């Protein structure tokens, strides 16, 4: 069987003291024997600091919480809000689950993709937008529904409203210092 050379193995992620301090605060909210309950909060911290959750980060969280890495991976892959790869500054999740699909959810996704020139799950070349289909966002009566940066829910997204949203987001100034990347508080419209 082919073995990965040491050079090609993923490097373990070393969590900073500041990150560990934040983890400690989350773990302290639970009885010691239930510290794994902090897994979602720890993953959210990693994503907030790094923009996404890499396999190495999952392993580091697993080691910190004393969990099997696969159990952490199951959490990361179950919830839409965790990015398993780098995403743009604005992550647009368009619901295509059945109730939304019956009210143009798929069409809304295609419209956004067409406007931005990306395929579903794609990121624009300038790193500003990532577009993804989404499972039910729990607001089916408002279909078609979408979520911006995991925080801002938007309802009744007709093509006109989608165009307005994209124009609004495109007009947002790029934060000073480095590559534009999604943060928890951006995308508030």
The binder of ligand FES chosen from 92, 145, 165, 169 (CB under 6 A): 145
Exposure string for 62-100, b = 16+ CB within 10 A, e = fewer: bebbebeeeebbebbeeebbbbeeebbbbbbbbbbbebb
The binder of ligand FES chosen from 137, 148, 162, 182 (CB under 6 A): 137
Smallest separation (angstroms) from ligand FES to the CB of 95: 3
Q: What are the φ and ψ backbone dihedral angles of 47, each rounded to 5 degrees? A: -65, -40
Q: Which residues contact 119 (CB under 8 A, 6 or more apart)?
A: 113
Smallest separation (angstroms) from ligand FES to the CB of 132: 13
The binder of ligand FES chosen from 143, 154, 165, 169 (CB under 6 A): 143
Smallest separation (angstroms) from ligand FES to the CB of 137: 4
Name the site residues for ligand FES (rule: CB under 6 A).
Answer: 95, 97, 99-100, 136-140, 143, 145
């Amino acid at each position: 069987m082919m073995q990965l050379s040491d050079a090609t193995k993923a490097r373990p992620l070393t969590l900073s003291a500041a990150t560990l301090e934040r983890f400690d605060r989350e773990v302290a909210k639970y009885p010691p024997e239930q510290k794994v309950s902090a897994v979602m909060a720890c993953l959210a911290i990693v994503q907030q600091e790094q923009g996404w959750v890499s396999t190495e980060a999952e392993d580091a969280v697993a080691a910190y919480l004393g969990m099997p890495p696969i159990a952490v991976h199951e959490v990361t892959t179950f919830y839409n809000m965790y990015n398993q790869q780098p995403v743009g500054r604005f992550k647009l999740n368009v619901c295509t689950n059945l109730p939304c699909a019956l009210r143009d959810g798929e069409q809304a996704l295609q419209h956004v993709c067409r406007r931005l020139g990306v395929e579903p799950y794609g990121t624009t070349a300038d790193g500003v937008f990532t577009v993804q289909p989404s499972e039910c966002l729990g607001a089916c009566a408002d279909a078609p529904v979408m979520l911006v940066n995991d925080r801002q829910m938007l309802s009744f997204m007709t093509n006109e409203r989608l165009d307005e949203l994209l124009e609004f987001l495109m007009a947002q100034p790029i934060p000073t210092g480095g590559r534009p990347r999604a943060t928890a508080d951006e995308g508030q419209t």
